[in-house]
Chain A
Amino acid sequence: MRFVLNQELIELDDSQIDINLSLLRYLREFKHLCGTKEGCASGDCGACTVLLGHYQDDAIRSDKLTSTAQTTPPEENDNQANKAIHYHSVNACILPLSAIHCRHVVTVEHLTQISATVPNTSAGEHLASLYPSQQAMVEHHASQCGFCTPGFVMSLTGLLERRTQIKADTTTLKESVKDCIAGNLCRCTGYRPIVEAGVHMFDLAMINPPADLANNRIVDTMKMLNTYGDSSKRTHQYWQPVSLNEVCNILHAQPEARIIAGGTDLMLEVTQHFKTLTKIIDISRVAELKQITRPAVENAQARESKIRIGAAVTYTELLHAFSDIQTLQQLILRIGAEQVRNRGTVGGNIANASPIADLPPVFLALDANIEIIDGQQKKSTVNIDAFYSGYKHTVLNDTPACIIAIEFNADYLNDFLRFYKLSKRIEDDISSVMTAVRFAIENNTVKDVRIAFGGMAATPIRARQSEQCFIGKSIDDEQTLQTACNALRKELSPMSDVRASAEYRLNMAENLLRKAWLELNGHHLPTINQTHFTQSSQLRTGEEQSHA
C-alpha cells in the first residue's frame, strides 16, 4: 500500500502489515510522530484526531457537480471545491492503517513543518512555525495540560481548510467551530478559549494566508497514487475492492472475512477487547455503495419514486444530502461527532445490529428495504423490520453477505416525521431512547403510521400495537393517543442499564410519542438542545420543510 504521510510518500508491503494496527499506533510507535495522542483508543476523545485527504481529480469533480444535482449543492463557502485534495478529520485510534491506501495523512507535526517555510516571520523564534489554528490556540490560552491540544488543533485545521473564505457572521462561525470540536474532549479548559481561538484563527488566516496542506509536490504524488494505486490489487488479508463484483468474489473465497466500512464499530473489538481480526474486506472504496439517489422534490410526489442510500455512505455525506429534512439533520448531527461521522456509515449502523443504534428506528419509520448481496452474487431484499432477529443478530448472521443499499419511498419524506434522540450528554453520546415517528395524514385522518424505537428492546423495534390504534382515527383525538400510549407500555420491554432506567425509558417512549402527536396537532414544542448546522444554514433558508 502507498500513502502520503505529511511530506513523505510511504510504501509498505501489505503482507508485512498487521491489519489490526491502527493508524495511531503506527504514527506513534513506528514513525515516532508522538504529537498525535491516545486518550481513549475508542473514538470518544479526539486526542488522536488527524486529517485524511483524498485526491479528487478534475473528472470526478465535474462529474460530482452534475450528479449531485439531486442532492444538496456543496456548502456556500466551500473552499474545497477548487482544491485537488479534500480533507476531513478522523480518529486515528480506530482507523486501520491498511484503510488509508492512497490517502494523505496530515498530523500536527505537518503544520509546524509547512508553517516554518512561511517567509518573513520577523516575530522571533516563537511564532515562526505556527499555523493559524495553533497560533490562535496560543493567543487565547486554550491549552492547559496540553494533552488534548493537538487533537483540537487538527479539528480546527480541518474546519479552516474547508472554509478559508469566511463570510459568515461571528455567531454562525462560532457554531461551526463548536460543531467541529464536539468530538474533542478537554478536561482542563472548559472549552471557552478553544471556541474563541477557533473563531479567531479565521482572522489570522485572512491576514496571513497559511501554506496549503498539500504543496504541488504532494498534489502530484497524490495524483500519481490515485492513477496507479488501484486498491483492488491488494490481496493480503486486507482487501479493498472497488466494485461490487469483487466484493462478492472475496466474500465467496473468504467467507470468514469481516466487512469493514468506517470501522467505527468494528475496530473497537481490536482496541477495546484486544481481539485479533484475521481477514478484512474494506468496502469503503466501492463506488456502487457510495451513491445516494434522491429524486428531485417535484418527482417525490410520484408514488413510485424511491430514495436509495448506498451502504457505504458516511453520516457526513448523508447530512449533506438530507440537510433540508430538519428532523433528520438534527438527528444526524447528534450521531457521534464529526470525526465519527466522517467515517461511520449507514450500512455499518444497520449491520452492527445494536439495539441503541440511531438510524434503524428511522428506517423502520420509513418502512425501508435493505438490499443485500451474497458471495454467490445473489441479491435479495428484506424489509428492515425482518432484518433483526434477536440481540445483535440479523439475517447477515445466517449467510455472510454485504448490504448494498437501503431504499424507501421518497414520498415518505413529505409525511409528518419526527426523530427524537435522548441521551445523557447532548453531543457525541449513545441514545438511551431513540424515537422515530411517521404519520401519513389524509383529510385529518391517520392513513398510515410508523412508530419505532431504539433502546426499548433487544433490537430496534416497531410499536405495531400502538401504531394500530391510530389508523383511520382523526389526528386530534386525544383518546386515541392515550390508547396508543397504553399499548406502548405493553409492547415495549426496555432494560435498566448505565444509560437509563427501564422506568424512565418507558416514560420517555410515551412522552415522545405524545410530543410528536402534539406537534402534529400544531403545538409548538421548542427543542431545548437544538444543534446548529451552520455549514448549510444559508442553503436551508427559504426551503424549510413544510410537514403535514
Chain B
Amino acid sequence: MRKLPEAYTKKSFSVPPTATSATQHSDNERSAHQRKINQIHESAIKHVQGKAQYVDDLPNTVNTLHVATGKATHANAKIVSLNLEKVWQAEGVVDVIVQGDIPGSADVSPVFSGDVLLAGQTTQFVGQPIFAVAATSYTAAQKAVRLAEIEYEQQTPLLRIQEALAQQDFVLPTQSFHRGDVIKTINEAKFSLSGELTIRGQEHFYLEGQISLAQPTEDGGIHVISSSQHPTEVQKLVASVLGVPIHKVQAEVRRMGGGFGGKESQAATLACMAAVFAQRLQQPIKYRMSRQDDMEQTGKRHDFWNQYTTAFTAQGEILAADIKLAGMCGCTADLSDGIVDRAMFHADNAYYLPQARITGYRCRTDTVSNTAFRGFGGPQGMLSTEAMLDDIARAVNLDPLDIRKQNVYRKDKDETPYGQKIEESVLLPLIEQLENTSQYRQRREEIHEFNRNNRWQKRGLALTPVKFGISFTSKHLNQAGALIHVYTDGSIHLNHGGTEMGQGLYTKIKQVVAKEFGVDSDRIMVSAARTDKVPNTSPTAASAGTDLNGMAAIDAVNKIKQNLFTFAEHYYKVERERIFIHDDIVHVGDQVFAFAEFIKLAYMQRVSLSANGFYRTPKIGFDRSTGKGRPFYYFANGAACSEVIVDTMTGEYKITRVDILHDVGESINPAVDIGQIEGGFIQGMGWLTTEELLWDSQGKLMSNSPANYKIPTVGDLPEDFNVNLYQAKNHEQNVYSSKAVGEPPLMLAISVWCALRDACASVADYKISPPLAAPATTEAVYHCMQAASQYQQSQTAQSGQRT
C-alpha cells in the first residue's frame, strides 16, 4: 500500500516548504497556507516526465523543411561575390534566399533600424547570415550552407569600446543627467579618487536554443510558433517582412526553455526567416539554430567600460560622483537605448549621491548587436559603483560595509540623481538584518586572523546591496491584457499577454486568478500566449510579468464577477455585500452554490462569462530633456553577503558561503520567488566569475560553444547557501502587495566579485583595491593577487629604505 505524506493527499498538488529558512519557520497552521502559496510550477509534472513540449518537440508534418544560414566570415566587409551554385545543388536543398528575396521589409529591428534579416552588400559582424537555405533535414541544411563561395573585400573592423568612444561612433546619441556642480566639488574636495572597470558581456545560454516554426495559413498569412518573450513583436515583424497586414499573422508561445532577455527582440529573426520560406514554398518551415550559430548570431549582455571619479569625506561619505558608462552595443541599436538608460538609472545602486553626473554612451562596434539580458544594463551600471565604494573604504581605511551603510539611501537622503524619491525605508534595515544573520563582523575578524596566518590561501568577504527599479523605462510598454473564459462546467480558461520561460509567471497568474475569484486553482487552465487572444502585448521582460499581467487578470476576473454578482443580486434579490465566492462556493445571502452549479445557472440566464482585462502602471514618467522624473513604479531591494577562499599561487577560488536577504514584498509564491533568487544569483555569479565572452582580433567570437564558454555547474554552488525573504509589503498598490523578482537577484552576485577583490586586497593589507577584471576568472584573480602583492612588496621595500 502506497502511503503518501499528508501534503499529497490534498487535491491541489502542492508541496510543503523544504529548502530555505525563509519558509522553514512555519508552524502547522501556517503550513497549510504555505502549501497553497508554494504551489508547484504549473508544468512541473510535465517537465519531469519529458512531456512538456518545446517548439522542437511538436510533431513534424512530413513536408516540414529546415533552415540554416550561411554566415559571414568577416566583419565590416564588402561582399564582392556570392556564388551559391553548390549550395543549390546540395542534397536536400529546396530553396535558397538572399536579402533581395524578402518580399517585404528586410529590416527586422525592434525599435530603431539597421537589423537586417540577411546581409546585403556589406557584412556587419562575423557570423551574420548572408543567405539562408531550406532543406529536407536539419543536417542537410547545415551541410549545404557550408558550400557557398563568398569573396569579401575586407576592411578593418571596429571592435573595442574605447575605439568607438575615440571615434565618437555611436548607435544612438549620448545621454546624461546630473545634479549639482560635480566637477567643482570633485576639484575642491580633499579626498577624491578615480577608477575604471572593463566589464565583459554574457551569453544567455538558455538551454533551449532559438527556434521558430512557421506554417502558412489559407488566408495568405502565417501561424508561427516560436520560443519568444515577445509574441507581438514576432507577429509585427513577420507581417512586415512578408508585407502583409498584422492580422494575417498569429504568433504563439506556450513556453520557452529559458529566455533571460535573449528571446526578447532577437527571437523574431528566426520567425521572420521561417515565415519568408513558408510563404514562398507554402510548406511548414522550422528554423532551429545550432548552439554555435546561436552563440555567434544572437546578441548578448553588453560589455561595458565604466569610469568613475568620486569625492568623499575623511569618513568616506560620498560628496559627488562623476560616472561614465560606455556600453558596447554591437552593430545596431536593438534595445541598447533602454539598456544604457537602465545602466545610468542604476549607477547609484543603493547609495545617495548628493551630487552626480551620469553619462551613458551607446558605442557601435562591428560585432553582433547586443541585446537584453536579465538586469538590462542595471548590473553593469551597479558593478563599477560597488567597486567605487570598495575603493573609498580602502582609501579611508574602513570596512567596506561601514562605507556602504553610511552612504545608503535614507530619510532626507532619499532622492536619486534623476529625481525619483526612495519612498520606502527598506535598504538600511535589510542590510542590518543581513549583517546580523550572516555574522558579518565576527566573520570579518576570523578572516583577518586566517589571512594573517595563511600564505597560500586568502579569504574574502563582502556584503553588497541591490536596489532595482521596476517598470519598463519606455513608458508605453507598461501595459498588459488578459482574457478569461468561464465554461459551463465551471472550468476556467486563462490567457494573458505574458510568456512562460521558467520564471513561474503562469503559476503565479493562475494563483492570482484563483484567489481573486475565490476558487480552487485546479479549475484554471493557463494557455499559450497568442496574439489573437490578447493583442498588442509588451515583451515579458523588465521583471514586470506578474505585476502587469497579474493586474490585468484581476481586472478580467472582476468583470466576470461583476456580471455574476449583478445577476445574483437581481435574481435572488440579495444585497450586493452579501454575495461572494470563497473556497469554490458561491454565497448568495444565506444560499450557497457549488461554483459549477452557479455558473451553469448564470449561463442559462444569459450572463456573459468571458472578459478581457487591462492594466497600465500608474504614476510613472521620465523626462529625458530634463533628466528628471519617476521612471519606476517602485524598487525591489536585496542584499547578499558572500565569502570566498582563494589560492594565491593559481588564482583558483571557491565560494564558501552566501547569505541572501531579498525583498519580494508579500510573496505570491515563496517557492517560485526563492527559485528566482537562487537562479538569478548563480547566473550573476557565472557572469562575474567563469563566463568569459571573448572575441579575437578580427571580431570572431572565440567563446562560441559550451566547451569554451563556461556557465556554472553544480560544483560552483556555494557550499553554504542561505536565502531568506525580507518580510515587508510593497507600499505601492501592486498585485497583492508583491514585488517583481525576475531580474534583481542577479545583481546580488556582485558580492562575490567584491569578496574576491577583498581576498586579493588582504595581501596588500587592505591598503589598496587592486584592479580586478570582470569576470573574475581564475586568471583575473591571479593577476589581481599579483597586483596586491607587488604593491605590498614595494611598500616593504620603501619602508626598508627608510629605516
Query: What is A's interface to B at a CB cutoff of 8 Å?
Result: 28-29, 32, 34-42, 44-45, 47, 107-109, 111-112, 118-124, 126-127, 129-130, 133-135, 137-141, 143-150, 153, 178, 181-196, 200, 207-208, 272, 274, 276, 337, 422-430, 432, 497-501, 504, 507-508, 511-512, 514-515, 525-526, 528-529, 531
Contacts and interface: CB of A to CB of B under 8 A. Distances in A.
Nearest to B679: A190
B193 to A, nearest CB: 28
A36 B708 CA distance: 24
A425 B716 contact: yes
Interface in B569-610: none
Closest 10 CB pairs of A and B: A35-B50, A145-B502, A147-B257, A146-B47, A190-B682, A144-B502, A44-B706, A34-B57, A108-B50, A425-B710
Contacts of B38: 141
B18 A140 contact: yes
B430 interface: no
B706 A42 contact: yes
Interface in B246-285: 255-260
Contacts of A35: 49-51
B8 interface: yes
B2 A146 contact: no
25 contacts: A123-B8, A137-B48, A141-B671, A148-B207, A150-B50, A153-B50, A187-B258, A187-B683, A188-B258, A188-B675, A189-B675, A190-B675, A191-B714, A192-B717, A194-B714, A274-B143, A276-B143, A424-B777, A425-B712, A426-B715, A498-B692, A504-B782, A504-B783, A525-B456, A528-B645
B40 A138 contact: yes
Given A126-B45, A143-B44, A187 B711 contact: yes
A514 B19 contact: no
Given A42-B707, A135-B48, A138-B40, 11 more contacts: A37-B207, A44-B706, A112-B49, A118-B2, A122-B2, A124-B8, A182-B715, A184-B714, A196-B18, A426-B716, A504-B782
Contacts of A112: 49-51
A141 B44 contact: yes
Contact of B501 (A134, A145, A178, A426): A145
Nearest to B291: A40
B86 to A, nearest CB: 14
A180 B654 CA distance: 20
Contacts of B502: 143-147, 188
B41 interface: yes
A529 B719 CA distance: 11
B778 interface: yes
Contact of A34 (B9, B53, B255): B53
B160 to A, nearest CB: 17
A4 to B, nearest CB: 19
B778 A121 contact: no
Contacts of A425: 690, 710, 712-713, 715-716
B436 to A, nearest CB: 23
Nearest to B775: A424
Interface in B8-65: 8-9, 11, 13, 15, 18-19, 38, 40-41, 43-54, 56-57, 59-60
B777 A42 contact: no
A426 B689 CA distance: 12
B23 to A, nearest CB: 11
B95 interface: no
A544 B46 CA distance: 46
B718 to A, nearest CB: 9
Contacts, number: 286
B465 interface: no
Interface residues of B, number: 96
A385 B644 CA distance: 40
Contacts of A143: 41, 43-44, 47-48, 502
A242 to B, nearest CB: 31
B207 A424 contact: no
B139 interface: yes
A528 to B, nearest CB: 5
A140 B645 CA distance: 29
B292 interface: yes
Contacts of B184: none
A422 B781 CA distance: 13
B374 to A, nearest CB: 10
Given A122-B4, A150-B48, A189 B678 contact: yes
Contact of B457 (A149, A191, A526): A526
Nearest to A180: B714
B650 A422 contact: yes
B646 interface: yes
B563 to A, nearest CB: 32
B679 A141 contact: no
Given A34-B56, A190-B679, A141 B257 contact: no
B649 interface: yes
Contacts of A528: 457, 645-647, 652-654
Given A427-B713, A528-B645, A528-B646, A189 B679 contact: yes
A119 B2 CA distance: 8
B13 A146 contact: no
Given A191-B714, A499-B708, A145 B291 contact: no
B714 A108 contact: no
A124 B7 CA distance: 12
Interface of B is mostly: loop
Contacts of A531: 715
Contacts of B713: 182-185, 191, 337, 425-428
Nearest to A137: B48
Given A141-B675, A146-B47, A430 B708 contact: yes
Interface in B747-792: 777-779, 782-783
Given A192-B721, A427-B715, A528-B652, A141 B457 contact: no
Interface string B494-538: 000000011110000000000000000000000000000000000
Contacts of B41: 141, 143-144, 146
A41 B290 contact: yes
B52 A187 contact: no
A529 B654 contact: yes
Contacts of B255: 145-146
B1 interface: yes
A371 B485 CA distance: 73
B439 to A, nearest CB: 21
Nearest to B693: A498
A182 B779 contact: no
A178 B716 CA distance: 10
Nearest to A36: B50
B4 A120 contact: no
A515 B647 CA distance: 11
Given A185-B711, A188-B502, A145 B683 contact: no
Contacts of A130: 45, 48-49
B351 interface: no
Contacts of B681: 190
Interface string B674-714: 11001111110000001010100000001101111011111
A37 B350 CA distance: 41
Nearest to A430: B707
Contacts of A499: 708
Contacts of A36: 50
B50 A109 contact: yes
B206 interface: yes
User: Interface centre among A189, A337, A430, by most B CB within 10 Å?
Assistant: A189
A521 to B, nearest CB: 14
A226 to B, nearest CB: 28
A153 B647 CA distance: 35
Contacts of B653: 528
Nearest to B19: A196
A145 B207 contact: yes
Contacts of A126: 8, 13, 45
B715 A178 contact: yes
A270 to B, nearest CB: 9
Contact of A498 (B57, B206, B708): B708
